[in-house]
A and B are shown apart, each in its own frame.
Chain A
Amino acid sequence: MEENKDMNFEDTMKKLEEIANELEKGDLDLDTSVTKFEEGMKLSKQCNKILEDAEKRISILINNGNAIEEQDFVPKAE
Chain B
Amino acid sequence: MEYKAITVTDLNKYIKEKIAGDETLNNILVKGEISNFKLHYTGHMYFTLKDESSLIKCIMFKTYTSNLKFTPKDGMKIMAFGTVSVFERDGVYQLYCKAMQEDGMGSLYTAYEELKAKLEKEGLFSQAHKKKIPYMPKVIGVLTSNTGAVIRDIINVSTRRNPNVYLRLLPVPVQGEGAAEKIAVGIKLMNEKKLADVIILARGGGSLEDLWPFNEEIVARTIYDSELPIISAVGHETDFTIADFVADLRAPTPSAAAELAVPNIAEVKLKLDTYQNRFRQSLKKKTELMRLRYEKCMAGRVFREPLQKINENYMLIDNVVKKMQNSIITKYKDKKLEAIKIYSKLDALSPLKTLSRGYSITEQEGKIVKSVAQLKKDNIITLRFEDGKCNAKVL
Q: What CA separation (Å) do A13 and B159 show in the bound complex?
A: 22
B166's partner among A23, A36, A55 (CB-CB below 8 A) is: A55
Q: Using known A-B contacts A51-B164, A61-B169, A61-B195, determine if residue A26 contacts B285 with beta carbons closer than 8 Å.
A: yes
- Which residue from B147, B152, B167, B282 sits with its C-beta under 8 Å from A23? B282
Which residues of chain A come closer than 8 Å to B162, judged between CB atoms? 54
Q: Does B193 contact A (CB under 8 A)?
A: yes
Expressed in whole angstroms, the Cα–Cα distance for A75 and B171 within the complex equals 12
Cβ-closest chain B residue relative to A40: B279
Minimum CB–CB distance from B198 to chain A (whole Å) comes to 13
> Could you say which residues of chain A place their CB within 8 Å of the CB of B152?
75
Cα–Cα distance between A36 and B279 once the two chains are bound (Å) = 9
> Would you call A73 and B279 a contact (CB within 8 A)?
no
The CA-CA distance from A40 to B162 in the complex, in Å, is: 24
From A30, A34, A41, A61, contact of B276 by CB (8 A):
A41
Query: Do the beta carbons of B135 and A9 come within 8 Å of each other?
Result: yes
Bitwise, B292-324 to A at CB < 8 A (1) or not (0) is 000000000000000000000000000000000
B167:A37 contact, CB within 8 angstroms = no
Range class of the A interface residue count: 35 or more
Distance A28 CA – B136 CA, assembled complex (angstroms)? 32
Distance of A23 from chain B, by nearest CB (Å): 4
Assembly CA distance A4 to B272 (angstroms): 16
* B278/A78 in contact, CB under 8 A: no
Q: Do B278 and A61 touch across chains, with their CB atoms under 8 A apart? A: no
When distances are taken between beta carbons in the complex, the residues of chain A under 8 Å from B275 are 16-17, 19-20, 40, 44
Which residues of chain A come closer than 8 Å to B345, judged between CB atoms? none
Residue in contact with A54 in the complex, picked from B147, B164, B279, B286, CB distance below 8 Å = B164
Q: Which of B247-306 contact A (CB under 8 A)?
A: 265, 268-269, 271-272, 275-276, 278-280, 282-283, 285-287, 289-290
Which residues from chain A contact B155 at a C-beta distance below 8 Å? Answer: 58, 75
**Cα separation A24 to B280 with both chains bound (whole Å):** 10
Q: Which of A19, A30, A60 has the most CB of B within 10 A?
A: A60
Q: Are A20 and B279 in contact (CB under 8 A)?
A: yes
- Decide yes or no: A30 and B286 within 8 Å by CB, A10-B134, A23-B278 being known contacts: yes
In the complex, B148 has a CB within 8 A of chain A: yes
Q: Does B163 count as interface, using CB distance less than 8 angstroms?
A: yes
Q: Which residues of chain B have C-beta atoms less than 8 A from A30's C-beta?
A: 286-287, 290
Contact in complex: B159, A61 (CB < 8 Å): no
Q: Are A56 and B278 in contact (CB under 8 A)?
A: no
B contacts, CB < 8 Å to A: 134-136, 138, 146-149, 151-152, 155, 159, 162-171, 189, 193, 195, 265, 268-269, 271-272, 275-276, 278-280, 282-283, 285-287, 289-290
14 pairs across A/B with beta carbons < 8 Å? A9-B136, A16-B272, A23-B278, A30-B287, A30-B290, A44-B276, A48-B272, A51-B265, A51-B269, A55-B166, A59-B167, A68-B189, A68-B195, A76-B147
